[in-house]
Amino acid sequence: MISKAARLSGAACATLAALAASPAAATFTKVTTGDIVTIPAWYWNGCWGDYDNDGWLDLFVGSDDRSTTNYLYHNNHDGTFTLIDQAAMPKEPSKQHGCAWGDYDNDGHLDLIVTGGAGTFHNMLYHNNGDGTFSWVTDGPIYTETNVHGFHGPSWADYDNDGFLDLFIAGHDVLNRLFHNQGDGTFTRITTNTIVNDPGDSECRGFVDYDNDGNLDLFVGNTDSHPNFLYRGDGHGNFTSVTDSGLSNAEGTWACAWADYDNDGWPDLLLANGPNKNSLYHNNRDGTFTNVTESTGLMEATSPNDNFSAVAWGDYDNDGFIDLFVATGNCYPDPNNCVLRPNLLYHNEGDGTFKKVTEGPVVNDLVTQCPGASWGDYDNDGFLDLFVSQGSAWPTPQTNLLYHNDGNANAWLNVKLVGTRSNRSAIGAKVRVKAFYRGASRWQLRAVSGGDSQSNQQPLSAEFGLADATIIDTVRVEWPSGIVQELHSVTPRQFLTITEPPTQPEAVCDVNNDGIVNRVDIQLIANARGTPAVGPNDPRDADHDGMITVLDDRLCTLQCTYELCASTPPSQTQGCGMLGAEPACAVALLLWLRQRNQRQFSSRVTTTQIH
Amino acid sequence: MRGTRGVVPTVRMIGRSVEEENYVQRAATALMVVVAMLILWVDDSAHAVTIGFDPSAATIASGGSLPLNLQATGLGGTPTSVIGGFDLFVSWDPAVLNFNAATLGSALGTIPAQAITAITPTTASVELFENSLLDPTSLAALQNGTAVLANLSWNVLTAQTSQVSISGLVSDALGNALSVQFQSAQLIPVPEPDTALLFVFGFLGFVVMKFKQG
């Protein structure tokens, strides 16, 4: 069920571990050779995705040049990319204002949606044939739907939890679009859902479970004096418009992205607005958000004609706190009155604040318009590299920017998920990692996203920085299907592939079958030490050797639901006070809610040590 | 024999010069030394953790008491080289010792909040069970070098040569069986006063006899 990817960077582990005692900076080297950074065009976006399943990230870059050239770059595994043969991915003239990878037919091969932008251009849904070529899907509403104002960022998300990816597209001055996946390779347009009936000028979108109830929610950012939209999902395809969360402001939002920047287990939201500021909203864990832009050091001024245009979260120095890249230079409303400006990189200091990075090419290259930005570890060294698209509506075509991360000694983990009951791409899944680093035990959260920012998509894998951690106590996957899966004592510095079990794993260690593993179970196993197991599925025989021993007791201790095998969540035993005030409270709360509401979720997870 | 080094057998190869032969033999010797060291190293690493008593030998007297600390040495400070749980049996000669008491240490966490424990004595042995509820990282930080697992005490019934031995199963922090070398405590009786007196008289008699002969 769980397999370990072949690539483990073991050779350098000992040396790196010795050097990883303290946080270390990471620098970037600008890539200056290759088609990927030398072909000029009016680029809009960049989407990392391993379309040929070779274990290396490839890159699609959308262009506004209305040509018949598709910029899909195949990763050559040596730090270089090759522009694919155009016959492998046919294109008609289009403006390509958004892209997103997702396996909509669950066949194991990533498909691609590219939105048509403004005008009468069609959206292009590319079906991956599995042999390095793509078929353009021209029947159905995704292709036939056009509008003169434009379609921007697309997002894949299984909004009704039927196991198939649906498609949401942000509309510029038109209603947003939602296409339901029928499960047979076709889509139908949904017109009755709340999320496609609020008039706005939507430039960005991002699905996330912001209230940790296990269901996908949706944020949509608008420009031109329209308020932003927040919708709360019920997991069955129904959404409720939320207007009292603190997010429904008119901010001129061009890009948006969710991330748990303070490692409290709850996703926070960054808005790239125009002109004059970013907005960082801290999740108050009660359904509301607080604007913390100024106190966190992210307030940034631009000229009136400049807007922030893209945002990408990524822990580029692997210190265990996610950092932030914000692209600038989105000239609006006057594209003929633009100035060259540098992009912005903020280092997460780990104390709830950010520090602006001032050195290196990422923040010193003067750029034109950069509506696309995406972190991706294209050379599989465990460190996030950065792609920034450039051009969009600039008077002259521009070349893209690719920055290679030079790395440091910090530990990391890269998790790829394969859904079985959930959609195969695992979009909407949450990965939580618990490890001891920088002097404390911390949880981190990553959500697998089907598209965010203005028109981009981050890789479908979850990247974690782990600083000086030598072992990862817990890797927990919360699948869209509701299955919760855990691994324990995982070695850092590896690429890990986790496949969703077809059913909730059997309840090993839950001796009294009450839905959690706690001290009662550990005591029962201890009481039975030295006796033979009763049958092959005796929950007390964790190592399945036929005898109940101290080894079983210890193995089950590692699977305890709560810290120290307590019977109640930390919020009740460790003085969480406010809901989720401790770092582990969010996880505990989720588990507690599931145990209370659904027997399925209360069944204890079998964990498998990866070897 | 020319070129012999220690116990390395020498085989004179046809057509090989003496210098060549010496070189080959030196290389063979060096290889054997390396292999021997490697074997010793592997053997040593396989038993990196030792569980024994402090003190490892004690004198006992009838009617007295015997306190011993059960301790582990060679703990490495990593999840696979520290103790996450143990189920140990300490046994003795019931004609020599009568079990008095045992208390478990805090090497696996504070008791009872951070560990599940059990102490089950019989006339000739006591089972010491402890399973830590701490996570591997915390345990690794707690154990580095030497750790006291338990304090035990007995009443001495008869002072005679004996030993207190250990057996059982030990888990590392991850639930794997930990390779452990067990070391017994040697018990040596304190000489009885009348026995000592007889020895003194005998020694004096021997001296007197020698003096007369001289």
Q: Which residues pair with A45 in a beta bridge?
A: A62
How far apart CA A324 and CA A260 sit, in angstroms, is 11
Q: Which pLDDT tens digit goes with each residue over A413-443?
A: 999 999 999 999 999 999 999 999 999 989 9
In this prediction, residue B21 carries a pLDDT of 57
Give A305's pLDDT tier (boundaries 50, 70, 90).
Answer: low
User: Are B129 and A526 inside 8 Å of each other by CB?
Assistant: yes
**What tokens does A525 get?**
């196993």
In this prediction, residue A121 carries a pLDDT of 87
At residue A360, does pLDDT exceed 80? Answer: yes
In this prediction, residue A341 carries a pLDDT of 85
Chain B residues with CB under 8 Å of a chain A CB are: 78-79, 84-87, 113-114, 116, 118, 129, 131-138, 169-177
Q: Degrees (nearest 5) of the Cα angle A159, A483, A315?
A: 75
How far apart CA A51 and CA B92 sit, in angstroms, is 68
At residue A208, does pLDDT exceed 80? Answer: yes
Count CB pairs under 8 A between chains A and B. Answer: 81
How far does B79 lie from chain A, in Å, by closest CA?
Answer: 9
Give B39's pLDDT tier (boundaries 50, 70, 90).
Answer: very low
In A, minimum Cα distance to B78 occurs at A470
Contacts of B164 (CB under 8 A, 6+ apart): B53, B68, B90, B91, B92, B97, B184, B185, B187
At residue A609, does pLDDT exceed 50? Answer: no
Averaged over A377-395, what is the pLDDT?
Answer: 93
User: Are A558 and B86 inside 8 Å of each other by CB?
Assistant: no
Give A562's pLDDT tier (boundaries 50, 70, 90).
Answer: confident
At residue A234, does pLDDT exceed 50? Answer: yes
In this prediction, residue A593 carries a pLDDT of 43
At residue A4, does pLDDT exceed 80? Answer: no
How far does A562 lie from chain B, in Å, by closest CA?
Answer: 11
Averaged over A364-380, what is the pLDDT?
Answer: 92
In this prediction, residue B17 carries a pLDDT of 53
Q: Which pLDDT tens digit goes with each residue over A156-204?
A: 999 999 999 999 999 988 899 999 999 999 999 999 999 999 999 998 9
Averaged over B18-41, what is the pLDDT?
Answer: 55
Give B29's pLDDT tier (boundaries 50, 70, 90).
Answer: low
Partner residue opposite B175 with nearest CB, options A470, A551, A560 = A551
In B, minimum Cα distance to A490 occurs at B174
In this prediction, residue A174 carries a pLDDT of 86
In A, minimum Cα distance to B174 occurs at A555
In this prediction, residue A129 carries a pLDDT of 98
Contact A421, A502 (CB under 8 A): yes
Q: What is the mean pLDDT of chain A?
A: 86
In A, minimum Cα distance to B130 occurs at A550
In this prediction, residue A289 carries a pLDDT of 98
User: Are A473 and B133 inside 8 Å of each other by CB?
Assistant: no
Spell out which residues of chain A touch residue B131, defining contact as CB-CB under 8 Å. 522, 526, 550, 553-554, 557
Least confident of A72-81, A220-229, A392-401, B205-214: B205-214
Percent of all residues in chain A with a pLDDT value above 70, rounded to a whole number: 86
In this prediction, residue B43 carries a pLDDT of 41
Give A227's pLDDT tier (boundaries 50, 70, 90).
Answer: very high
How far does A210 lie from chain B, in Å, by closest CA?
Answer: 29
Chain A residues with CB under 8 Å of a chain B CB are: 435-436, 441, 470-471, 473, 489, 519, 522-523, 526, 529-530, 542-543, 549-555, 557-558, 560, 563-565, 609
User: Are A558 and B175 inside 8 Å of each other by CB?
Assistant: yes
At residue B36, does pLDDT exceed 60? Answer: no
Give A118's pLDDT tier (boundaries 50, 70, 90).
Answer: confident
In B, minimum Cα distance to A527 occurs at B118
User: Are A554 and B134 inside 8 Å of each other by CB?
Assistant: no
User: Are B176 and A551 inside 8 Å of each other by CB?
Assistant: yes
How far apart CA A40 and CA A71 sit, in angstroms, is 11
In this prediction, residue A173 carries a pLDDT of 80
In this prediction, residue A224 carries a pLDDT of 81
User: Are A554 and B84 inside 8 Å of each other by CB?
Assistant: yes
Averaged over B19-23, what is the pLDDT?
Answer: 59
Averaged over A324-346, what is the pLDDT?
Answer: 81
How far apart CA A349 and CA A322 sit, in angstroms, is 9
How far does A553 lie from chain B, in Å, by closest CA?
Answer: 7
Residue A77 phi, psi (nearest 5):
70, 10
Q: Any idea what DSSP says for residue A532?
A: B
How far does A566 lie from chain B, in Å, by closest CA?
Answer: 10
Of B43, B53, B47, B2, whose CA–CA distance to B25 is shortest? B2
DSSP notation for chain B: -TT--TT----PPTT--HHHHHHHHHHHHHHHHHHHHHHHHHHHHHT-EEEEEESSEEEE-TT-EEEEEEEEEEE-SSTTSSEEEEEEEEE--TTTEEEEEEEE-STT-STTTTEEEEEEE-SSEEEEEEEE-S-HHHHHHH-SEEEEEEEEEEEESS--SEEEEEEEEEEETTSPBPPEEE-PEEEEEPPPHHHHHHHHHHHHHHHHHHHHH-
At residue A302, does pLDDT exceed 80? Answer: no
Q: Any idea what DSSP says for residue A488?
A: E
How far apart CA A609 and CA A607 sit, in angstroms, is 7
In this prediction, residue A576 carries a pLDDT of 37
Averaged over B181-186, what is the pLDDT?
Answer: 97
In this prediction, residue A309 carries a pLDDT of 86
User: Are A441 and B173 inside 8 Å of each other by CB?
Assistant: no
Which of A554, A556, A608 is most worth mutating to test chain B (most B CB atoms within 10 A of its CB)?
Answer: A554
Averaged over A340-351, what is the pLDDT?
Answer: 93
In this prediction, residue B40 carries a pLDDT of 41
Give B79's pLDDT tier (boundaries 50, 70, 90).
Answer: confident
Q: Which pLDDT tens digit goes with each residue over B165-175?
A: 999 999 999 99
How far apart CA B24 and CA B3 sit, in angstroms, is 10
Averaged over A125-129, what is the pLDDT?
Answer: 97
How far does A24 lie from chain B, in Å, by closest CA?
Answer: 22
Averaged over A472-499, what is the pLDDT?
Answer: 93
How far apart CA A311 and CA A316 sit, in angstroms, is 14
DSSP notation for A136-190: EE-SSHHHH---SS-EEEEEEE-TT-SSS-EEEEEESSS--EEEEE-SSS-EEEE
Q: Which residue has the higher pLDDT, B88 or A336?
A: B88
Partner residue opposite A551 with nearest CB, options B79, B134, B169 = B169
How far apart CA A216 and CA A233 sit, in angstroms, is 6
Q: Which residue has the higher pLDDT, A175 or A3?
A: A175
At residue A569, does pLDDT exceed 50? Answer: yes
